[in-house]
């Protein structure tokens, strides 16, 4: 089984009680269970972590970099301003997928910018806990493609006109 880290930033331990009209009523324990069950179906060993501390998050990313461990990352508030986290993520050579439960583009303007998106393989947002399931599916696929020495599908396809 391939090891995958699912890293979660500030306030995500408060799921279920934090703004249930925005984030729903599912708890952080529900998120952990969803990730572990999804991982098992994809032959991934998933370890879920959460921190409100930027330095701890960066240390976890550096740990993943050193071990070439794929990462699903919900940077939460760090998404919008943590250049230190972005710089640590830029060192990742294993698959990295940014994930958000809500769609930041449909929320307050300050949430529209992600400083980490440019160093991630992709972003999944707006589907609640299903965002994590989709991100883990992407990690499994990217890991398999890279292990086979192939090109990621996004790299293999020509860039769309104007995009």
Which of 21-25, 29-33, 78-82 has the lowest average pLDDT?
A: 21-25
Domains of the chain with CATH codes = 2-156 (3.40.50.9100)
Cβ(80)–Cβ(114) under 8 Å? Answer: yes
Instruction: Write down the pLDDT at residue 161.
Output: 47
Q: What pLDDT digit, counting tens, does each position of 109-137 carry?
A: 766 578 998 999 999 999 999 999 999 99
Instruction: Write down the pLDDT at residue 14.
Output: 78
Q: What is the 3-state secondary structure (H, E, C) of the chain?
A: CEEEEEEECCCHHHCCCCCHHHHCCCCHHHHHHHHHHHHHHCCEEEEEEECCCHHHHHHHHHHHHHHCCCEEEECHHHHHCCHHHHHHHCCCCCCEEEEECCCHHHCCHHHHCCCCHHHCCEEEECCCCHHHHHHHHHHHHHHHHHHCCCCCHHHHCCCCCCC
User: Model pTM?
Assistant: 0.86
Structure tokens at 121: 């393989």
Instruction: Write down the pLDDT at residue 16.
Output: 73
- Given the residues 80, 81, 83, 100, select the one marked as catalytic: 100
Residue 35 has pLDDT above 90, yes or no: yes
Nearest residue to 2 via CA among 95, 100, 114: 95
Residue 5 has pLDDT above 90, yes or no: yes
Structure tokens at 4: 């995958």
Cβ(23)–Cβ(101) under 8 Å? Answer: yes
**23 a catalytic residue:** yes
CA 111 to centroid of chain Cα atoms: 16
Cβ(55)–Cβ(98) under 8 Å? Answer: no
State mean pLDDT over 19-39.
Answer: 85
**80 a catalytic residue:** no
Q: What pLDDT digit, counting tens, does each position of 62-116 carry?
A: 999 999 999 999 998 888 889 999 999 999 999 999 999 887 766 667 665 789 9
State mean pLDDT over 6-34.
Answer: 83
């Amino acid at each position: 089984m391939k090891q995958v880290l699912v890293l979660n930033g500030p306030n995500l331990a408060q799921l279920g009680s934090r703004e249930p009209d925005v984030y729903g009523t599912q708890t952080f324990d529900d998120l952990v269970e969803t990730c572990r069950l999804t991982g098992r179906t994809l032959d991934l060993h998933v370890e879920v972590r959460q921190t409100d501390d930027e330095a701890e998050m960066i240390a976890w990313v550096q740990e993943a970099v050193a071990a070439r461990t794929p990462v699903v990352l919900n940077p939460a508030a760090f998404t919008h301003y943590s250049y230190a986290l972005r710089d640590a993520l830029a060192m990742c050579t294993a698959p990295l997928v940014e994930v958000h439960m809500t769609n930041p583009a449909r929320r307050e303007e300050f949430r529209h910018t992600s400083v980490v998106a440019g160093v991630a393989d992709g972003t999944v947002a707006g589907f609640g806990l299903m965002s994590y399931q989709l991100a883990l599916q992407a990690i499994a696929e990217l890991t398999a493609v890279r292990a086979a020495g192939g090109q990621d599908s996004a790299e293999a396809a020509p860039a769309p006109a104007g995009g």
